[in-house]
Structure 1
Amino acid sequence: MFTLAWPIVVTQLLQVAYNIADTIWLGRTAYPSAAVGALSLAFPLIFLFLSVGGGLTVAGSTLVAQYTGAGGDEDASKAASQTLAFVTVIAVVVGAVGYLSTDLLLGLLPADSETARLVIPLASDYMRVFFLGTPFLFGFFVFSALMRGYGNTRIPMAVMFVTVVLNVVLDPLFIFGWDVGPLDFPAMGVEGAAVATLLSRVVATAIGLFILFRLAVGPQLKIAYLRLERKWVKRIVNIGAPSALEQSTSALAMITLTAMVASFAPPVVAAYGLGNRLISLVFLPAMGLGRATNTMVGQNLGAGRGDRAERAVKLAATTGAVVMAGVAVVALVFAEPIVSVFISSTTADATATIENGVQYLRIRTVEFAFIGVLQVVLGAYRGAGNTRTALAFSLTALWLGRVPTVYLLTFTLGLGATGIWIGMALGNIVGAVAAVAWFTRGTWKDTVVETDDGSRAETA
């Protein structure tokens, strides 16, 4: 499990490094609160579109894992190829729709007057460039998911490392501009951060496709299998649609919360976005264990070893809770120096952003151990192909534990920004308790693939 998990954690750390690099550089522009706030507003809207492809890649990971566990390498190859072809079609559609609807989506946010004047135009610039690169972003999602299902998590980590380094180098060039010799990059501000990310993703997808088609280190993609077949598309949709819906509803919850946050002044908006990026960083150990659990459950159920699958889940959940509790202590003690790294300006807005960000981070540490448990149990459900159950508990965490609580505390009880921070912390606590209670029933162990004789793999 740890062999699978640590490269996933590092890969996700590098994924977050994309966002952290953007935040650090934009925090050093002339208007840091507006620039960082633009990312705060843009990301939930972008995530709404990306969730469609991200959810469908779960199907590819699950199918490859279970076929690999059952010894069906050719079926694993076909599942991988069909997933790539289908998600590519979806990516083109999603990118076009996102690009054309950017201003409409941002116009729906009930923004504070200063936020509308300073932040939303920057968010629009960022989103348009980002949507142009959607096919390349989805391409890397597919590559990582298929390799993870096969059990090879180190190569995606290496590819991500290369592209993060590239992004870190390109970010300041496009954000601030550079005119030295033959290199002439105009200063593009927030839009430049999106351009740097887009170029880095192009490189990541190119490397990933070369590996899947040419190297024998994962499921072997074949050109002959790229022609979409109704049977495979149906299987991908049946497994992936609940995960896509899960991620989409997560995005909708984020948009709803962002709409509430947008009614505040830029320092609160910026603190919310900055805090979320820091939470996504500490979220990584839990996510790594959850995705490793996905693979281990899938391969063990495919091999008919439900007993080992269950032991893996229990071990991962315990480890996740302990590790995340340790992360919580560090975040609680060092909240102020951590937040201050991202804002270098000494203006009144920047100072207010730091103060709000520190409070946000400290309050959310109470949920960290629950995040570890929830991600592992959701990973178990997905690995078994039981994505509808994972959807149900994600909805519980977001739409019962978080969104209504934020509204109640912030607006009904009048706690202001503090109500946002407290409400955000409650969602994963509610979701973890509910998901674990359901998990103990043991009904999650059925597989979604068939063995060579046409029967489903037996599970213990």
Structure 2
Amino acid sequence: MNTTGTDDTITEGGLLGPMFKLAWPIVVIQLLQVTYNIADTFWLGRLSADAVGALSLAFPLIFLLISIAGGFTTAGSILVAQYTGADSEGSAGKVAGQILTFVTLLALALSVLGYVATDSMLELLPSQGATTEQIIPLAGQYMEVFFLGLPFLFGFFVFTSLMRGYGDTKTPMRVMVVSVAMNVVLDPLLIFGIGPVPALGIETEILSGMGIEGAALATILSRGVASVLGFYVLFVARVGPDVQTRYLVPDLSYIWDIVRIGVPSTLEQSMSALAMITLTAMVVQFAPPVVSAYGLGNRLASLVFLPAMGLGRATNTMVGQNLGAGKSERAERAAWIAAKVGAAVMFGVAVIAALFPEPIVSVFMATGTDAARETVRHGAEYLRIRSVEFTFMAILQVMLGAYRGAGNTKTAMAFSAVALWVGRVPTVYYLAFVANMGATGIWVGMALGNVLGAIAAVLWFTRGTWKATVIDEDETAESAAAPTPGAEPEVSETGTSGPTDGK
């Protein structure tokens, strides 16, 4: 069973220490993840405000395709966590190998689909006037390059998810540091190029700038390096789940469990992506500065949400391993501790965001144009209003992490739907277009979704009906008693030992 290296482990002793040791590398990974986007925004903000606006249009469309495969990496994390908690190393390694094969094939298919469908997806957005002429073409250029490199993203996503389920969050963090450092160096070089160097007798461009396409290429190349390092860790360094090459051969019994648990997570992420696209379709009906402020504000929100996201994913592992070990009460206590810590941290972040929104937003818009100043004005209002939801966001993420750790991906999907499709999308539409609040209505509606979702998720959590594993207890006991290399345990047809949807 995986431990944290001290007397307190994930399944034994105190909870706060192991949770912190899991969470802080995840927060760093998420910070580094956001650094990709922030670096793109920072340098493209020095190219033009339209380039920043193009990112805000491209991202939800890209995320829609990413979400289709992303849910299955969540299934891998859940299964690895529960098998690890049950001391079933063979099954943890086998399910890790199956996830690698399944998601890789899916990512290749989505890469082709995304590249071919880029123009069609952008045509679905009801943009008008200057937004159509100035921003849509740039978004298309970014998306085409990005989709060609989609498999490189998923290599690292799968590696991180499997290692998190195993209880090792530091190794993916180290790999991510290398990848982000590479992206930070490549971004300005590929976006702006390298000019003449007279001292060396070079009078022509050494490297021509690619503009927004350079930002996409820098991210893809950096992700490729991370994926290669991740595979090296799993197959050569032998760190994490015991993944053997023979585990890469498809096994329908494991794939069924991956699909059964992963589909609700895929639907959850797809609903999030569709909500983002719907919101973007509303936003593009405004002037370019509002579109740019929306994209910039979303990236800043993803940055300040890092502590909540880290605790949510740590809760996933804590709950998964403890339920696998048969310790449901410990799993519940871990979730409540994470919720309280997350709420306290995010309250402090909210105070800072509410007091100093304009200086924060101004860092990313340095062209000095009228469009940039208008973008800063809208972006500051966005950040100030959304700061109200920060505490609720932390609680919601922890509750969703607990449900996912238990394998209750349908329950997590339901509360994500409440937050997005009950609390956010209709509210934004009503406030912005029916109540005629304009851009302010968008920002207010965005904030209300997480407030409603958090309240609903906590009320359901108190019922305690989520405390069941999604692995076969007899099977894991047999594996622990006889862990021979040639006799890996199989997952049952249903793979459940009780209700898995929280009902």
TM-score class, shorter: over 0.9
Q: Which residue of 2 aligns with 1:14?
A: 32
Q: Which residue of 1 aligns with 2:341?
A: 319
User: Is the counterpart of residue 77 in structure 1 residue 93 in structure 2?
Assistant: yes
1:149 to 155, 159, 165: 165
User: Is the counterpart of residue 54 in structure 1 residue 70 in structure 2?
Assistant: yes
Q: Check whether the contact 2:86–2:476 (CA below 8 A) recurs between aligned residues.
A: no
1:93 to 103, 109, 132: 109
Q: Check whether the contact 1:34–1:266 (CA below 8 A) recurs between aligned residues.
A: yes
Report deviation, 1:263.
0.5
**SS of the counterpart of 2:473?**
coil
Report deviation, 1:232.
1.2
Give, as a single letter, the amino acid of the residue that structure 1 aligns with 2:321. Answer: Q
2:147 to 121, 125, 131: 131
Report deviation, 1:221.
1.6
- Measure the CA separation in 2 of the matches of 1:360 and 1:79: 42
Change (3 A) 1:63 1:420: same
1:420 to 442, 445, 449: 442
- Measure the CA separation in 1 of the matches of 2:158 and 2:368: 42
Report deviation, 1:451.
2.9
**SS of the counterpart of 2:213?**
helix
**SS of the counterpart of 1:101?**
helix
- Measure the CA separation in 1 of the matches of 2:333 and 2:240: 26
Q: Aligned ranges for residues 273-288 of structure 1 at < 5 Å? A: 273-288=295-310
- Measure the CA separation in 1 of the matches of 2:445 and 2:343: 21
Deviation digits for residues 374-403 of structure 1, max 9, x if unmatched? Answer: 000000000000000000000000000000
Q: Check whether the contact 2:75–2:258 (CA below 8 A) recurs between aligned residues.
A: yes
1:39 to 55, 68, 72: 55
TM-score (norm 2): 0.89
- Measure the CA separation in 2 of the matches of 1:279 and 1:150: 29
- Measure the CA separation in 2 of the matches of 1:161 and 1:48: 26
Between 177-186 and 308-317, report the one with greater CA deviation. 177-186
Q: Check whether the contact 1:303–1:457 (CA below 8 A) recurs between aligned residues.
A: no
Report deviation, 1:458.
9.7
Report deviation, 1:333.
1.2
2:453 to 427, 431, 447: 431
Q: Which residue of 2 aligns with 1:26?
A: 44
1:440 to 434, 446, 462: 462
- Measure the CA separation in 2 of the matches of 1:184 and 1:244: 44
**SS of the counterpart of 1:447?**
coil
Count of matched residue positions in the alignment of Structure 1 and Structure 2: 457
Q: Check whether the contact 1:304–1:458 (CA below 8 A) recurs between aligned residues.
A: no
**SS of the counterpart of 1:449?**
coil
Q: Check whether the contact 2:268–2:413 (CA below 8 A) recurs between aligned residues.
A: yes
Give, as a single letter, the amino acid of the residue that structure 1 aligns with 2:187. Answer: D
Report deviation, 1:346.
1.7
- Measure the CA separation in 2 of the matches of 1:119 and 1:313: 43
Report deviation, 1:217.
2.3
Change (3 A) 1:67 1:375: same
- Measure the CA separation in 1 of the matches of 2:467 and 2:237: 33
Q: Aligned ranges for residues 8-407 of structure 1 at < 5 Å? A: 8-29=26-47, 32-179=48-195, 184-407=206-429
Report deviation, 1:348.
1.1
Report deviation, 1:453.
4.7
Q: Which residue of 2 aligns with 1:4?
A: 22
The structure with more radius of gyration: 2
Q: Check whether the contact 2:88–2:476 (CA below 8 A) recurs between aligned residues.
A: no
Q: Check whether the contact 1:384–1:444 (CA below 8 A) recurs between aligned residues.
A: yes
**SS of the counterpart of 1:344?**
coil
- Measure the CA separation in 2 of the matches of 1:367 and 1:138: 30
Give, as a single letter, the amino acid of the residue that structure 2 aligns with 1:25. Answer: W
**SS of the counterpart of 1:446?**
coil
Q: Check whether the contact 1:102–1:127 (CA below 8 A) recurs between aligned residues.
A: yes
Identity of aligned residues (%): 64
- Measure the CA separation in 2 of the matches of 1:89 and 1:309: 34
Over the residues paired in the alignment, what is the CA RMSD in angstroms? 1.4
- Measure the CA separation in 1 of the matches of 2:243 and 2:104: 14
Report deviation, 1:169.
0.1
Q: Check whether the contact 1:302–1:457 (CA below 8 A) recurs between aligned residues.
A: no
**SS of the counterpart of 2:206?**
strand
Structure 1 unaligned regions, length at least 5: none
Between 241-250 and 449-458, report the one with greater CA deviation. 449-458
TM-score (norm 1): 0.97
Report deviation, 1:219.
0.6
- Measure the CA separation in 2 of the matches of 1:325 and 1:153: 25
Give, as a single letter, the amino acid of the residue that structure 2 aligns with 1:126. Answer: Y
Deviation digits for residues 259-294 of structure 1, max 9, x if unmatched? Answer: 000001110000000000000001100000000000
Structure 2 unaligned regions, length at least 5: 1-18, 478-495
- Measure the CA separation in 2 of the matches of 1:458 and 1:405: 37
**SS of the counterpart of 1:175?**
helix
Q: Check whether the contact 2:83–2:476 (CA below 8 A) recurs between aligned residues.
A: no
**SS of the counterpart of 1:119?**
helix
